[in-house]
């Protein structure tokens, strides 16, 4: 059974940085595309970023390009989300997700989800 565990969330000031991690077990990590999503209070879950199994291709929500970077380490079964220049509107629960098809992740569909980690950006 697959398990995704996010970590690295917390409270950060405007302009600060955080790096989220998502450790995956129970699947052959290197064969799956990975994605990050977020859900702010009162809002729908939205796509943040995705990365192909090889790490060769990455995709971002247009509004986040240049501030967020997704990466993966297949030897560690872990995907990361580096978040820079954080803004109050980045406050949300961040979820990682896994699917064989990266375009499904880009469309908001995933085979498995983590439990989420809270990111709060204070002004």
Confidence of residue 102 (pLDDT cuts 50, 70, 90): very high
Mean pLDDT of 23-48: 93
Looking at residue 13, what is its pLDDT?
98
Confidence category of residue 81, pLDDT binned at 50, 70, 90: very high
Strands (E) in 8-114, as ranges, are 10-13, 18-25, 33-39, 46-51, 58-60, 68-73, 78-83, 92-99, 112-113
pLDDT of residue 12: 98
- State yes or no: pLDDT of 27 exceeds 80: no
Q: What percent of the chain has a predicted confidence (pLDDT) above 70?
A: 100
Band of residue 28 on the pLDDT scale cut at 50, 70, 90? confident
Cβ pair 11, 117 in contact under 8 A? no
Position 26 scores a pLDDT of 83
């Amino acid at each position: 059974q697959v398990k995704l565990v996010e970590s690295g969330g917390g409270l950060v000031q405007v302009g600060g940085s955080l790096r989220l991690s998502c450790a995956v077990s129970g699947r052959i990590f290197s064969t799956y595309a990975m994605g990050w999503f977020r859900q702010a209070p009162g809002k729908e879950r939205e796509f943040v970023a995705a990365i192909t199994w090889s790490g060769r291709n990455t995709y971002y929500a247009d509004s986040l390009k240049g501030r967020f970077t997704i990466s993966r380490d297949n030897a560690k079964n872990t995907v990361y989300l580096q978040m820079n220049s954080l803004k109050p509107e980045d406050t949300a629960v961040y979820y990682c997700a896994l699917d064989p098809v990266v375009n499904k992740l880009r469309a908001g569909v995933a085979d498995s989800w983590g439990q989420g980690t809270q990111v709060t950006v204070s002004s």
